[in-house]
Structure 1
Amino acid sequence: MRFLYYAHELQRHAGPGVDVTVYEPGWMPGTDLGRGAPAVLRAIGRGIAHLPRVATPERSGPALASVALDEKWAHLRDGAFVVRDKVTEVRPVAQDRDRERRLWQATAQLLANAHV
């Protein structure tokens, strides 16, 4: 959910002419995200990756590029949320201006402290 908070706040900071969109490829078995899982679960994940409609880097990369570049998606605004190939409505809990602002401020503070 934090990525949606960032997207909404980034959209406010970016201003006109910049459109922020969040892309969610779905679960991607066989990536290093599960590297800490037991070997049997990693093997199952690699097998599941061969099923149709399961996200893989080979399938998700072109889909992400499409969201960024194709006219089909040019209408997206204000931190729109795309899951695989569909615009998805953001639940109200993921639209909290106060949390978005606080997360943005905390990030700015961490970055400021890192450059000291």
Structure 2
Amino acid sequence: MPIRNARRFRVEQTEAETALWKRLRNGQLDGVKFRRQHPVSPYTVDFVAIAERLVIELDGGQHAAQQARDERRTDYLSQQGYRVIRFWNNEVLDNPDGIMLRIRAFLEAGKSG
């Protein structure tokens, strides 16, 4: 089921997911390999850099009402050894360069820790 969901989510990407993927794919960010809509059972994460243990989640307006669920998800991913960074969809669309700088800083912080 997680793989089926991941495939479906790849086809049904949001505008923000598409925009961010164009900047993350093919190692464009400092050679870091990201995967999109990747299962980390029991969840499917928006983007993950496996080697760096970094998950990037994009949240739309519906996530404001799902805060407790998102916190449980983040807790689970943290227990699996992932660092999680979240952005609102509008942040990605309105300030893509700033988002890339924040992701790069998060990656750099992970190297020193």
Q: Which has the higher contact order (CA 8 A, sep 6+)?
A: 1
TM-score between the two structures when normalised by the length of structure 2: 0.28
CA radius of gyration, larger in: 1
Larger proportion of strand: 2
TM-score between the two structures when normalised by the length of structure 1: 0.28
